[in-house]
Chains A and B, each alone.
Chain A
Amino acid sequence: AQTVTQSQPEMSVQEAETVTLSCTYDTSESDYYLFWYKQPPSRQMILVIRQEAYKQQNATENRFSVNFQKAAKSFSLKISDSQLGDAAMYFCAYRSALRNDMRFGAGTRLTVKP
């Protein structure tokens, strides 16, 4: 079974600084998708960024970028120029290309200090 591990329960960053959230996963599949979701206090899960396993290029979305290391099964999220609105729970998720069900990590609570 696929598992997703986020080893950092909490992280803190100063406003305007950069922070990296870690995620590792375990799978025997070769075709899959990886996601980072943000869950603010409003509870709604919001997609931050996604990465297709067959793409070697790391995904980037404005201030958010990933470091995807397929061989190491690592998928970290870098947030640049952190803003107060970035404070939230961040979940790393795995989805097989064969099934439409996502496996989530335990989450990392990010605090942004002004």
Chain B
Amino acid sequence: KAGVTQTPRYLIKTRGQQVTLSCSPISGHRSVSWYQQTPGQGLQFLFEYFSETQRNKGNFPGRFSGRQFSNSRSEMNVSTLELGDSALYLCASSFPDREYTEAFFGQGTRLTVV
């Protein structure tokens, strides 16, 4: 079974631009969560999508948004990029049932804002 796939792996953007990151979950997984990892703040939850609906949201500004498609693939968008948005963005998919609580992570997208 293929794992969680995130594209692109690396991205360099200029301050003020916007960016879209993509995540393809494991087949059959309907929940996709996004996390931001920085040296200063560590791993922080951005949001979770389930069946095309945002179900949970972390404490991030509205510049961070996402969506999920009918095939469970998810995209995350960051508008008006700031230098502080430079981070590793991780996507995790899971089958949100009580017995299947494991989240499988992708290898992440390294975003650098210059």
Residues of A whose CB lies within 8 Å of any CB of B are: 33, 35, 37, 42-47, 50, 52, 91, 95, 97, 99-107
Contacts and interface: CB of A to CB of B under 8 A. Distances in A.
A108 B12 CA distance: 29
Contacts of A99: 48, 55-56
B105 to A, nearest CB: 4
Could you say which of B48, B55, B96, B105 has the most chain A C-beta atoms within 10 Å of its C-beta?
A: B105
Nearest to B108: A43
Contact of A45 (B31, B55, B105): B105
A101 B43 contact: no
A101 B45 contact: yes
B21 to A, nearest CB: 14
Contacts, number: 57
Interface in B32-83: 33, 35, 42-45, 48, 50, 55-56, 58
B17 to A, nearest CB: 23
B101 to A, nearest CB: 5
From DSSP, what is the main secondary structure of chain B's interface residues?
strand
30 contacts: A33-B101, A37-B105, A43-B88, A43-B107, A43-B108, A44-B105, A44-B106, A44-B107, A47-B102, A47-B104, A50-B101, A50-B102, A52-B101, A91-B43, A97-B98, A100-B33, A100-B48, A100-B56, A100-B94, A101-B33, A101-B45, A102-B35, A102-B43, A102-B45, A102-B92, A103-B45, A104-B35, A104-B43, A106-B42, A107-B42
Interface of B: 31, 33, 35, 42-45, 48, 50, 55-56, 58, 88, 90, 92, 94, 96, 98, 101-108, 110
Given A43-B107, A50-B101, A100 B90 contact: no
Contacts of A47: 102-104
Q: Which of B43, B56, B102, B105 has the most CB of A within 10 A?
A: B43
A100 B42 contact: no
